[in-house]
Chains A and B, each alone.
Chain A
């Protein structure tokens, strides 16, 4: 009997136990980021801008030169990095509280300026790290620790659709929403992420990718139920797809 190598972990990914909860999509998304960077041979020239949320330890998992940005400010930090080193590949990795709430001004303006960076946005509809409070992306009716009766549009407004908002800004070259809840979506997500990275690699400007992600712990669900919820509740409201692709249009 001989063995066939079916899967090899990207060498950019550290071989260590994960601190993420079982079923959390952060780990899956980290793997995708590492795979895409590696396949595009970008690892040696990449500067990662981390953010504040459950992914604050991204540098422990993806072995890249990394700077920690204050909560919400990663797009401003990435602007400083990219303007200093236009020859380097620069991306931010941000949660929904980080990007769509406290950091809304920074993401809107970095995008509108068309900074030549890539943004990996992880929307799990809650503030994961601080214990499951309401986020700007929390769904109507969803219960969190700070909207215990469920989010109500009269009181808290509607969830923000960042991928669509980004697509409406002049400086944005590419904006898409993906999910990693099943193999089919995972494969599509990888293709899309690669496209986002390629936009920057070819000097084409700002690329944005929103990942719908699960947070089984704060959703108080098993991993499989969380994947189910993502499919049944999140995707109908946050549709998957490409909302802007200037590169594709010019082809």
Chain B
């Protein structure tokens, strides 16, 4: 396939199209507007549907409806809109419905700003809505990865019958890079033959629901969900960069992971032995690799574009086996590789 030069947002939209997405529902919000704008042309051309919903609440519920038909469907938004989608995401998790939800994280809380931030890590990774559920969360660090992970998001959503989140930010969304697209998938327009709704012709009616009122039914349902989340642990993905001889392991995801990589390259030339683990799946979290690196006596530094969220998962992973420092870039400030030099040197010396 010929290489193309596109924005991260467009890479996600194009990725969805090539992965067989047939319905897109969205509501305008910066910095992700390229996605609905692309989809408003691409979906009808592909014989699919584009709806500009009346709100993010409605868009997420349209996704729920499309998912109930076993169709590949997607919605996207940015932080304030993601708050509004949470009820539907919780219902989708409870009703075991597959769908892809993109969050191009911007600064918060409240209206915040329209710049990059990783302030929604907790919301994305710890459930976000009500109830004891999980969504799988993929965090691209490049435009190519934004494209590729969108394919993976659809695959995982249907494999696990679960909502899958793509967590980017204003940097990933607005950055332009060359990518190599894949061959468009020829997917069954209606998957989930054993559960999708289509009218109860010659069979028992199917019910997609999250309500379980009879004695013990909800406990049984929650157990089934938990077993599914356990099974999904094998989907863990991460990038490992120069960790072998490193005395300090930096853990950073998404755009920050990529910027930190540049800092490490520079510091390596000056003899500083730092390496990187960049989680690509934020849920499931790459705990095993972090634990085994901790057991080798390496120190840790978590860097995030927030004041400390993923660091809690890093510390849970290494269970006190190693020293673990944190550097937070305040949302509202645009990070550069220089910002991270001193924090890394300090952590190496501590």
Binding site for B on A (CB under 8 A): 43-47, 49-50, 56, 59, 63-70, 73, 76-85, 88-89, 105-106, 108-109, 113
- A65:B211 contact, CB within 8 angstroms: no
- B62:A80 contact, CB within 8 angstroms: yes
Which residues on the B side are within 8 Å of A68 (C-beta)? 91, 95, 207-211
| Docked pose: A189 CA to B313 CA in angstroms | 59
Q: Chain B 253-268 against A: per-residue CB contact (8 Å), 1 yes, 0 no?
A: 0000000000000000
| Docked pose: A84 CA to B62 CA in angstroms | 10
What would be 17 A-B contacts, judged by CB atoms less than 8 Å apart?
Answer: A46-B199, A46-B200, A59-B207, A65-B199, A65-B206, A65-B207, A67-B68, A68-B208, A68-B209, A70-B88, A80-B23, A80-B25, A80-B61, A81-B68, A83-B23, A84-B69, A85-B198
Which residues on the A side are within 8 Å of B49 (C-beta)? 83-84
B345 to chain A minimum Cβ distance, whole angstroms, is 50
- B200:A65 contact, CB within 8 angstroms: yes
Which residues on the A side are within 8 Å of B71 (C-beta)? 84-85
Within 8 Å by CB of B199, from A44, A67, A79, A105, lies A44
Least CB separation from A47: chain B residue = B197
B242 within 8 A of A: no
Q: Chain B 184-224 against A: per-residue CB contact (8 Å), 1 yes, 0 no?
A: 00000000000001111110111111110000000000000
Which residues on the B side are within 8 Å of A88 (C-beta)? 198-199
Interface of A is mostly: helix
Which residues on the B side are within 8 Å of A78 (C-beta)? 65
CB within 8 Å of A: which of B32-64?
A: 49, 51, 53-55, 57-59, 61-64
- B62:A77 contact, CB within 8 angstroms: yes
Knowing A81-B66, A85-B69 are in contact, say whether A65-B197 is a contact too (CB < 8 A).
Answer: yes
Compute the total of residue contacts between A and B using a CB distance below 8 Å. 140
Which residues on the B side are within 8 Å of A56 (C-beta)? 211
A111 to chain B minimum Cβ distance, whole angstroms, is 11
- A84:B91 contact, CB within 8 angstroms: no
Least CB separation from A86: chain B residue = B49
Within 8 Å by CB of B65, from A45, A64, A67, A105, lies A67
| Docked pose: A105 CA to B53 CA in angstroms | 10
Least CB separation from B92: chain A residue = A70
- B58:A84 contact, CB within 8 angstroms: no
Knowing A76-B61, A105-B54, A105-B58 are in contact, say whether A66-B207 is a contact too (CB < 8 A).
Answer: yes
- A77:B65 contact, CB within 8 angstroms: yes
- B198:A47 contact, CB within 8 angstroms: yes
B161 within 8 A of A: no
Within 8 Å by CB of B61, from A47, A64, A65, A106, lies A106
- A63:B205 contact, CB within 8 angstroms: yes
Max chain A CB contacts within 10 Å: which of B54, B87, B208, B210? B54
Which residues on the B side are within 8 Å of A70 (C-beta)? 61, 64, 87-88, 91
Least CB separation from B22: chain A residue = A84
